[in-house]
Each structure stands twice: as structure tokens, then as C-alpha cells.
Amino acid sequence: MAAASDLIARSACEIIDLLNTQAVSPHELLDVLEQRVAEVDPAINALPTLCFDRARKAADEIVKRPKGERGILAGMPVPIKDLTEVAGVRSTHGSPIFADLIPEASDILVERLEAEGGIIYAKSNTPEFGAGAQTFNEVFGATRNPWNLSRSAAGSSGGAAAALASGMAWLAHGSDMGGSLRNPASFCGVVGLRPSPGRVATTPGSIIDDTLSTEGPMARNVEDVALFLDAMTGQDRRDMRSMPKPAQSFLEAARSRRAPRKIAFSPDLGITPVEPEVAEICRKAAYRFAEAGVIVEEACPDLSEAHECFQTLRARNFLIGLGAHYRERRSLLKPEVIWNIEQGMKLTAAYIARAEAQRAALFKRMVAFFGDYDLLLCPATITSPFPVEQRYLAACNGQAFETYIHWLAIVYAITLVSSPAISIPAGFTAEGLPVGLQIVAPPRGEAELLAAANVLEDILGLRNITPIDPRPEQGRS
């Protein structure tokens, strides 16, 4: 077996190749991860719940399968975000309400990953019920950014992103409503993909046709994300939104490196302030597409209704999904969750009808926009990682925000139009903190998105910036 440090630094695709050739076993990978988690996670707090005993039993079963029948993941260990339930494993949802929950059944997505040879060895940290793009909760505390332990890892898939960046995972599961895959990818210098609604089947919650929330893959580079998306996808009759696997794998699509013809860049989507340094890093990264012969222009569709629309639909979803907890266990909920639910209680049918009409108009404008441009690029977050003690970003570039989620507009506007979107590393601030570039494709355009992102990742040369050891001070080595 290769040295543990060598394995930690490998890409997920390389690890899968080693598994398929039996140059390394799932058990050896679990040993490497258990050692790495013990070394670095006390400083980061990315993977608060471990289940290595369960994982080793799963590895025993996988190695009994004939070679070539071990699935896409072939015995690859994977952490699952603590909003998604895994049978027999503590699944808290980041809330004191479920601090001791051990579910009897797994989510549809977990079942699929295990069928594809994925081995669950940990649950990654998340804010309570995924509310807020800052990973902290009353059960496990805060997750810290490996690039600078004094900074936030963002959220709500902050534990997943921090685990990837620090070498505690090769692939990691996440989910996204208002940027929860894209924000932490940006803050931690990894890659996070929000797929089109329905691309990844999952157990429906209180809203069986929800298209605001999606499950998706995170990894250290574009091809690894594409590989993990292949393992996640497929139709399941228990999820009415789910769609079949495409004829071409997403990994093949990514490796095709088909460059777009014409793309648009916007520093702010016309709806939000952005830190000037972040905007400039993303602008420079986007314009480097020209090196592949791509036409780059500054443009964006009209997304002006995004704030009101998202606030309304998000509040409705919180009321439907968490209203019972508010009535029965309000004292156990954090203030931000209470605020979301109470906003939902104020809604009238007229407000909801207006929001649905706004979303339809936003979608039509975005589809028309993609008649002129193949992709839309913008910052994945409007700021560099802020102090971990800060619950959310209250202001940016001199502009105060009305609510604690307004700083997420640059990602939740894309959520509303059902486009797949990916965050890839774009560069570093003067402090040495990573900045992510968001690349957006037409609905169900994951193949084109991954191919283009791989082209730009090649050009930018930022594929091997992680894993890193936790850094108490800023600066790149």
C-alpha cells in the first residue's frame, strides 16, 4: 500500500483506479482516514460523528463482490451531511431536538451510494436544519476553515468542504437551497456542484415536489465531482422529481473538455454588493476562458425579483417543514430558524402566488438569456471567509443587509431558476484565503457545465491546492 500521506493527496478518480485494480483495499483507506481524522479534526470539527465500525463491516461485504461488480465507487469511503439520515448512525440535523436520533432507515441517496460501492464512515457538520450559510450548532459547535482556523467554513455543507480541504475525505455529500454546496466550496477552496432539481433522488420531506433544495457532490476537483455525481444519479419511484441517468456519464462529459462558444460574466448579478477584491479575482478568472477561444462578455439577465421571491418561498418551506417543531419545541430552535418559521406564518396566499409568478418570470428570462450565452459566471460568494464567531454577514462593501440571508443572493438567485451551478477555485485574496467562481448552465445542463469547468480549471491551474494541514495563521506555503 502507498504511504498514507500519498493516498490522502490523491484525487478521488485515482483512488477509484487503485480500488479497481486492487492496489489498495477499502479497509486500508478507512485506516488512512481514521488516522487523518484523529490528527486534524480536533482543530477543525468537520466530522463530529464517526462510524468506522459500521464502515468496516460494509467494506467486508464490498470486497466479497466480484471485481467489476463493486459499483462506481468500488469501496470509496464517503461522509454524509448530517441533514441526511443513515441507518444506525446518529443523525442530529444539527439540532438539539434530534441530538440523540439514530434512524432505522437510510435516505434514498444513501442507499444509492452504498449500492454503488460507497462506504459511509462519518457525518459532516451542518448548521441547525441547514439554516444559514455558517456551520455551527448547539450539538457539536462550529466548523473551522482549514485555510485559517479563525475563519468560517461557510455552510450549510461546511463540514463536508472542510473535510475535503484538510484531507479527511476524497469525496463528500452535501445539499443546497441557498448556496449550501457552493458557499462552503468557495470558502474552503474545493469544488461544489448544485445539480438541477431531480438529478439526484432523495427521500422527499414535507414538500414532495420541492425544487428549491437539491443534494449534490463535493470534491477537490471537477472530474472528482463528476465521478461522484455519476454515483448519485438515477431515477427512483419514491422520489417523483427524479430523472434517469443520462446516456453519457458525467465523468466522460467532464473529460471531453468541450469549451463553450460564448459566456457572460457578472460581478454581482445586478442584485448584491460584492467585496471588490472578490469581484476582481472572479473577473480575472472568468476572462481567462478567452485562452480557450471563448467569447467573454459582461452581461446578466434581470434577476431583480430574486430577493422577495426567495424570501417568500424559503419562509413557506420552513413553515411547512419545521412548523411542528416551532409549536412544540420552540425553545430548542436557534433564533434564525425561529425567524424563518415566523416569516412563513405571516404569509398569505397572495404573497405566495406573487412569489410563484416571480419565479416563473425569472426562469423564463434565464432561459432566454441562455439563448445568447452558453454559461453565466459570477462570484460564488460575495466575501472572503469571515471570522468563525460571526453568525452571518451583516453588511458588504458599505451596504447593510435587511435580513441574515440577503448576503446569499448571488447563489439563491440561481437556485430559483433551477440551473445547475458549480463553484470552482478562482484564486486567493491578499490574505491567502480562497475565492470561488460560480459557473451556471441552462437547466439540466450538467454535462456542458462540467466540461467547461474542467477547461477553466486547467487554465487556472488551481487543481492541486488541497489537501492542506489546518493553518492557525493565514498565508500559503
Contacts of 217 (CB under 8 A, 6+ apart): 171, 172, 173, 174, 192, 193, 225, 228, 229, 232
Q: Give the model's pLDDT for residue 2.
A: 73
364 catalytic per annotation: no
Contacts of 122 (CB under 8 A, 6+ apart): 37, 47, 49, 50, 51, 79, 80, 163, 168, 169
Set 91, 106, 152, 156: catalytic member: 156
Q: Give the model's pLDDT for residue 474.
A: 55
**pLDDT at 410 > cutoff 50:** yes
Q: What gap in Å lies between CA 396 and CA 256, rounded to an integer?
A: 39
Q: Please give the average per-residue pLDDT across 73-77, as a whole number.
A: 98
The DSSP string of 125-180 is ---GGG-SSS-EETTTEEPEETTEEEEE--SSSHHHHHHHHTTS-SEEEEEESSST
- The tens digit of pLDDT for each residue in 86-128 reads 999 999 999 999 999 999 999 999 999 999 999 999 999 999 9
Set 11, 166, 180, 384: catalytic member: 180
- The tens digit of pLDDT for each residue in 21-66 reads 999 999 999 999 999 999 999 999 999 999 999 999 999 999 999 9
**pLDDT at 477 > cutoff 60:** no
Q: Give the model's pLDDT for residue 168.
A: 98
Q: What gap in Å lies between CA 344 and CA 185, rounded to an integer?
A: 29
**Extended strands (E) in 171-280:** 171-176, 191-194, 214-219, 262-265
Q: Residue 218: helix, strand or coil by DSSP? A: strand
What secondary structure letter does DSSP report for 360? H
Q: Residue 449 has which C-alpha cell?
A: 457545465
**H helical segments located in 261-305:** 276-287
What are the backbone dihedrals phi and psi of residue 98, each rounded to the nearest 5 degrees, phi first? -115, 25
Set 81, 91, 124, 266: catalytic member: 81
| 248 or 2, greater pLDDT | 248
- pLDDT band for position 174 (50/70/90)? very high
Q: Give the model's pLDDT for residue 476.
A: 42
How far CA 358 is from CA of 176, 304, 307, 313, in Å, comes to 21, 10, 10, 11
Average pLDDT of the chain?
97
Domains of the chain by start residue, with CATH: 4-460 (3.90.1300.10)
What secondary structure letter does DSSP report for 332? G
Q: What gap in Å lies between CA 249 and CA 252, rounded to an integer?
A: 5
145 neighbors 388 (Cβ within 8 angstroms): yes
Q: Is 384 exposed, middle or buried (0-12, 13-18, 19+ CB in 10 A)?
A: buried
Q: What gap in Å lies between CA 46 and CA 162, rounded to an integer?
A: 6
196 catalytic per annotation: no
Number of C-beta neighbours around residue 456 at 10 A: 27
251 neighbors 171 (Cβ within 8 angstroms): no
Q: Give the model's pLDDT for residue 1.
A: 61
**pLDDT at 139 > cutoff 80:** yes
196 neighbors 228 (Cβ within 8 angstroms): no
* Confidence (pTM): 0.97
How far CA 431 is from CA of 151, 279, 386, 392, in Å, comes to 12, 15, 12, 20
> Nearest CA to 48 among 144, 112, 130?
144
Q: Give the model's pLDDT for residue 4.
A: 84
> Nearest CA to 157 among 210, 237, 99, 83?
83
Is the N-terminal amide bond of 196 cis, ω within 30° of 0?
Answer: no
180 catalytic per annotation: yes
**pLDDT at 302 > cutoff 80:** yes
Q: Residue 175 has which C-alpha cell?
A: 445539499
- The tens digit of pLDDT for each residue in 249-300 reads 999 999 999 999 999 999 999 999 999 999 999 999 999 999 999 999 999 9
151 neighbors 145 (Cβ within 8 angstroms): yes
